[in-house]
Structures are given as structure tokens and as C-alpha cells.
Structure 1
Amino acid sequence: MSVNLFRPIRYSVFAIALLSGVAYAVAPPVTGGEKRADKKNQEDPEYVAEMKAKVFSKEAISVANGEHRFNQTCVYCHGYKGSGGKAKMLQGRDFDADYLFKTITKGKKRGSLVMPPWKRTFTPEERWELVTYILSLSEEK
């Protein structure tokens, strides 16, 4: 008889847990809105230009950071030191820094080959560091 008494309580607890989970999935808490605002501010053209100047002012460190990031994320398609692979070779090519930044940010599609956009993964500073590394590859001919 005690089992029958607790059955409605168990079902109501289950229903409350289920509904609160659905409510959270549909409308997550508002906390952390500052982070979203910061992300939007990071894509502001003035901020991107500021990061470009910062990265190019400390080029040696930026190239090292860019190389580390390149080896973690780009080497699979672009090969060791940009030697080529699934994607085009980056070594010995003359690139415009702004073109590289835009390509890294927005990605690229060429036929069935797709380079993903890195805008949500890397900050503007990290993307500019990748640009400095790729530009250093063109100098190594």
C-alpha cells in the first residue's frame, strides 16, 4: 500500500525535472550575457585593426604562437609548414594579410574541399597570429 502512495509523488518529481530541463534548453539562463557582448565587440572593425597592430608589433612572438596554433589545427590539410596536402601549399606564396585574415575568419569552399570558418574558435588576435605565421612561410622559399 505504501508503494501506491509514493507513485504520484515520483511521477510529479519526474515531471518537474523534465519540464525544468526543457525550460532550460529552450531558454537558458541570462547570466553570461557579457561574454556574448564581448564576442560581438571582438568582431568590431576597430578592435580587429587594433589586434592586427598589436600582433604585428610583436611579430616574433606572434609567429611562434601562430605556428603552434597552425600545427594544432591547420597542418592536417595544409601540411607541415604549409607544404600542402589536401589544401593548397602555403609556402613561398605571396599573400595579402587582410585576405588571409578574411579567409581564416570566414572559411572557404572550393569544390568538395571546405575550410571551416575559425571566427567562433579563435579570437581576432589568434587569427592574426596565424596570419603572421603564414606570411613567414612565404619568406622561407
Structure 2
Amino acid sequence: MIRALSKSSTLCKAIRLGPLMLVALVLSIALPQVAATADAPAAQAAAAAANAPSPEQLRNASWIADGRLRFVQTCAYCHGTRGEGGKNKPFEERTGWDPHEIFNVISNGRIRGANAMPSWKESFSEREIWQLVAYVKSLSADFAGPIDDKSPK
């Protein structure tokens, strides 16, 4: 009987460790993938910052015009043609907007409560998104005005 108890105790320990080992295995596989997925927007934001146009390029009149055309065709349904639509503060009342943050929201989308903006990085090139950023920035209250150079680098 003592021998039977020791065998059943060993069996109980093995059964208890089995699920723990399974959980450890699943976590060792899943966590790196979750971490990589969580880091993807950060990596994309870093790459976009490296390729970001200068503040002068974002004030370029042709970039603003191209961004406006795309905005009216794609974004106006939710935001209005001048960013006055929706439940958020109108674009013309905003100041201090970080162009990298605007780029990130357009690229990756955002969910805030019931407000959801889709990701556009699969629909637009980086340059097209930066042109959208130029237009959005041109609507803000603290915009310094367009620059007429027609050939941004």
C-alpha cells in the first residue's frame, strides 16, 4: 500500500506538471510573436521618422494640394473636407500637432472608445501618407502658410 501511494503521488505530480509544461511551451512560442506584433507599429514609426520629410516639405504647396485631393476622396466622409466632421475637435482648432503622430494614426489607425479610424498603410504609399499629413497640418490653427517651391525632395 505504501508503494501504491508513492506511485500515485508520482503520477499526481506528473499530471500537475504536464499542464504546466504545456502552458510553458505555449507561452514560449506565443510571447515572442505577441512582442513582435506589439513592436511592429513602433518599428514602422521609427522607419517613417527616418524617411520623414522636412518641416518645409510639409508646407510645400504641391504636397498640400495632393494631400487635399486624396483627403477629399478618401477621408472627407468621416472628417469633412476640412477636418470639421466627426466627434473630435475640428482640425482648424488644433495647434502643436506632431506630424509623426498624424502619420502614425493614418498609417496604423486608432480606436478611441466608439471612434475607430482604419489603417491606411496598405492603401497609400509613405509619400502619399506624408502628403495627407501636409494637408492636415495646413488646416491647423498654427500653420505658418504654404511654401510655393514645386519640387520637394
- The TM-score range, normalised by the shorter chain, is 0.5 to 0.7
Question: Where does residue 92 of structure 1 map in the other structure?
Answer: 93
Question: Where does residue 69 of structure 1 map in the other structure?
Answer: 70
User: What is the deviation of 1:85?
Assistant: 2.6
Q: 1:55 to 1:74 in 2, by over 3 A?
A: farther
Scaled by the length of structure 1, what TM-score is found?
Answer: 0.59
Q: Distance in 1 between matches of 2:50 and 2:85?
A: 29
Q: 1:74 to 1:64 in 2, by over 3 A?
A: same
* Aligned residue pair count: 99
Scaled by the length of structure 2, what TM-score is found?
Answer: 0.55
Which runs of 5 or more residues in structure 2 are unaligned?
Answer: 1-43, 144-153
Greater RCO (Cα-Cα under 8 Å, separation 6 or more): 2
Identity %: 38
| Conserved 8 A contact 1:84-1:90 | no
Which runs of 5 or more residues in structure 1 are unaligned?
Answer: 1-42
Is structure 2 residue 117 aligned with structure 1 residue 115? yes
Q: Distance in 2 between matches of 1:48 and 1:139?
A: 24
Question: Where does residue 15 of structure 1 map in the other structure?
Answer: none
Q: Distance in 2 between matches of 1:86 and 1:139?
A: 18
- The structure with the largest alpha-carbon Rg is 2
Is structure 2 residue 57 aligned with structure 1 residue 56? yes
Show structure 1 runs of 4+ deviating over 3 A: 43-51
| Conserved 8 A contact 1:101-1:127 | yes
Matched residue type, 2:85 = G
| Conserved 8 A contact 2:109-2:116 | yes
Which structure's residues are more often helix, by fraction? 1
